[in-house]
């Protein structure tokens, strides 16, 4: 593409493509140069965390993830710090979100939904046994590995035991409204375990129905439905599944079924295999050191930059696909869009950038360009603030480029709408091949 970009090394890890980003962090693919093993590294900017007084919350998130060692929870291996950044080394999960599976294929069959629900309950039950409550359980936070094993992620809203007040309850309202238990919404304190189980019940309903049990465009109407547990199961649910879901989605936490009772339920136990794993002793010494401002310079990691052409190697190309299935790399022009999407083009990189800018500006987006990366920022605020889209052009082979559009902020449904609108203006640059379209 006529330019070079620095490939960054941090300690023994070589950093690759950005796989996600938020207000305070980026997640990048990484490779251990000593073993060749692949990881994900979450990179936090210390200055931003201090400015927004997020240090304690982020340290809590990291501490939470370090404490959890379970086959159905994303594992955190180590924490490092430089003068300006904190690096969290995580298990790399390549199978995509469980949410994407439903968005692409619709509802799951009852046996498949039960399999994922069993893994979810295993993970949540273990977290609770370690005094950790997730508080934002939803399909988007449930990932799948290459073998289809469920992994719970995103402990940004989790609560450790020290956050429980003298009454034994949590008092922070958080989470995603459609999945939140009624007692969390009324600000009177709640049992974190019972609240997490409610969210698990909503997830089970979504897996089997393909839609939410509580959904209203008006927030107050949504809350009313949640407070009354005003929902009905579709006719294809089995009788035993309906009974279990109604016991979980009981608006009264005192009479709501417990996780221990769920595990003993006949519907739940069908084909159930409890996970077997070794319990490890975990220390938070590296977490404390990473957040220690008086740390000796010799203990800080240093970023080393190596200049090389901007091309995608096989590792990066494969890591972009779900479950290492290369067929899912290239989407149809108007195919299903999640929180990121890609297309290929045989046009020049400069032509691609110009065409995206030309198509985005009439849709009300400000464009910031940095070489072959772009940031599209919506002028109007949507349901979750301004829609922000990160765009990057990558060389896959000579005269063949991959273009990635990824939601960096805002609402996923608004991103869907944006992609649908901008697609019309990009038809001329999208490379179409019969084989790929036929596979899709």
Residues noted as catalytic: 136
CB 265 within 8 A of CB 218: no
Residue listed under structure tokens 């931003």: 48
Scored b (16 or more CB within 10 A) or e, 369-382 reads eeebbbbbbbeeeb
Rounded CA gap, 92 and 20, in Å? 13
Nearest to 24 by CA among 52, 1, 4: 52
From CA 305, how far away is CA 294, in angstroms rounded?
26
Distances (CA, A) of 112 to 99, 150, 387: 14, 12, 34
- Lookup result for tokens 């009324």: 186
**What is residue 340's three-state secondary structure?**
strand
Q: List CB contacts of 412: < 8 A, sequence separation 6 or more.
A: 140, 338, 339
Task: Judge contact between 105 and 330, C-beta under 8 A.
Answer: no
- Longest CA–CA separation in the chain, Å: 65
Question: CA-CA distance, 282 to 123, in Å (whole number)?
Answer: 17
> Closest Cα to residue 79, out of 68, 63, 103?
63
Phi, psi of 266, rounded to the nearest 5 degrees = -60, -40
Angle at CA 27, nearest 5°, toward 22 and 30?
170
Beta-strand pair 340-345/365-370: unpaired
Can you tell me whether residue 176 is helix, strand or coil?
coil
Structure tokens at 78: 């180590």
CA 195, CA 95: separation in Å to the nearest integer?
28
Pick from 145, 239, 223: which is nearest to 184 by CA? 223
Q: Give how far Cα 46 sits from Cα of 24, 87, 285, Å.
A: 9, 10, 19
């Amino acid at each position: 593409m006529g330019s070079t970009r620095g490939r960054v090394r941090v300690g023994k890890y070589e950093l690759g493509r950005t796989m996600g980003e938020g207000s305070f962090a980026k997640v990048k693919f990484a490779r251990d140069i000593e073993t060749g093993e692949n990881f994900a590294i979450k990179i936090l900017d210390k200055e931003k965390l201090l400015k927004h007084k997020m240090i304690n919350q982020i340290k809590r998130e990291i501490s939470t993830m370090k404490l959890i060692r379970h086959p159905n929870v994303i594992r955190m291996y180590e924490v490092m710090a430089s003068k300006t950044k904190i690096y969290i080394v995580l298990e790399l999960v390549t199978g995509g979100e469980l949410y994407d599976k439903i968005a692409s294929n619709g509802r799951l069959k009852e046996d498949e939904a039960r399999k994922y629900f069993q893994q979810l309950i295993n993970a949540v039950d273990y977290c609770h046994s370690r005094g950790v409550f997730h508080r934002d359980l939803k399909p988007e936070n449930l990932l799948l590995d290459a073998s289809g094993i469920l992994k719970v992620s995103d402990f940004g809203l989790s609560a450790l035991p020290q956050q429980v007040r003298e009454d034994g309850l949590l008092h922070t309202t958080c989470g995603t409204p459609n999945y939140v238990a009624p007692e969390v919404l009324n600000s009177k304190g709640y049992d974190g375990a019972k609240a997490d189980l409610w969210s698990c019940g909503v997830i089970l309903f979504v897996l089997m129905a393909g839609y939410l049990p509580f959904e209203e465009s008006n927030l107050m109407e949504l809350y009313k439905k949640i407070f009354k547990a005003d929902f009905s199961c579709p006719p294809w649910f089995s009788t035993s599944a309906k009974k279990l879901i109604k016991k979980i989605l009981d608006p009264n936490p005192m009479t709501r079924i417990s996780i221990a009772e769920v595990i003993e339920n006949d519907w739940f136990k069908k084909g159930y295999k409890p996970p077997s794993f070794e319990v490890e002793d975990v220390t938070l010494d590296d977490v404390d050191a990473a957040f220690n401002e008086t740390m000796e310079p010799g203990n800080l990691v240093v970023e080393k930059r190596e200049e090389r052409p901007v091309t995608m190697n096989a590792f990066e190309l494969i890591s972009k696909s779900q479950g290492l299935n290369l067929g899912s790399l290239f989407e149809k022009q108007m195919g299903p869009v999640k929180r990121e999407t890609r297309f290929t083009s045989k046009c020049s990189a400069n032509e691609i950038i110009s065409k995206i800018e030309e198509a985005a500006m009439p849709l009300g987006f400000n464009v910031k360009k940095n070489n072959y990366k772009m940031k599209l920022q919506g002028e109007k605020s949507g349901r979750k603030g301004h829609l922000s889209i990160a765009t990057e052009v990558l060389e896959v082979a000579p005269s063949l480029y991959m273009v990635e559009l990824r939601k960096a902020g805002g609402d996923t449904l608004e991103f869907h709408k944006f992609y649908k609108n901008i697609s019309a203006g990009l038809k001329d640059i999208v490379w179409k091949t019969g084989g790929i379209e036929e596979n899709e």
